[in-house]
Amino acid sequence: MKPTFLAVIPARGGSKGIPRKNIKELAGKPLIAWTIEEAKKSKYITRLILSSEDQEIIQVAEEYGCEVPFVRPSELANDTTSGMEPVLHAIAQCPGYDYIILLQPTSPMRTVEDIDNAIEKLLKNDSNYCVSVVETSESPYWMYKMSEEKVLQPLFADEPIAVRRQDLPLTYSLNGAIYIGKTKVIQESKSFLADDTVGYLMSKEHSYDIDNMMDFIICENLKKM
């Protein structure tokens, strides 16, 4: 039987860095619309829903064809709310799906190919979790901590420091674009990150995560190219 996937777009009204970020116009349409439109093209997503407490965001999402089966409780939409709480709430409100997918609206460069390729990687590996990553621009093997006396201390003190970049191991960071997990496992672990989490590698161009106006301007210019 074909597995079922519930995709959740979490979008709360509060945003300190960029006011009303999730519905701010980016290259001709609200930021959240870019995620909705790509997710709707997926050949695997069974149901796409929005989780929000904000009526304006809800209205915009519905205008772009995203289902809004519930209004998120305000206590799950404040600055201290963990990223997993809206996911677990969505699972409780919309039960019965084999997998849960978290698609943050702050990743407008993510494509349907990225979404479907990540799903295929999860299924091929028969994994409990798959998250999207990007190769790091700066190697953590060349990074340092600084003591109270301002003395530099290697982040990996036990590792020899390579002189040439090509001698360094490749490293990856979460880009925030795609999180997938088996629903039952997610309910138990309350996380997408575990010892068996599989990484789906995305390009730098598709990995922008909008956190400030500089990110916003970069993504807008890329969309207009």
Domains of the chain from N-terminus onward: 5-134+172-213 (3.90.550.10), 137-170 (no CATH)
Considering only CA atoms, which of 204, 205, 186, 200 is closest in space to residue 83? 186
Question: What is the structure's pLDDT at 74?
Answer: 86
Task: Lowest mean pLDDT of 150-159, 178-187, 202-211, name the range.
Answer: 150-159
The strand pair at 172-182 and 129-135 is best described as antiparallel
Helices (H), the chain: 31-40, 55-63, 84-93, 112-125, 183-189, 213-224
Backbone phi, psi, residue 67, to 5°? -75, 140
Give dist(CA 5, CA 84) in Å, integer: 17
Element (H, E) at 134: strand 129-135
Q: What is the mean pLDDT of residues 160-165?
A: 66
Name the CA dihedral angle for 128, 8, 174, 27, rounded to a multiple of 10 degrees.
150
pLDDT in tens, 9-63: 999 887 777 889 999 999 999 999 999 999 999 999 999 999 999 999 999 999 9
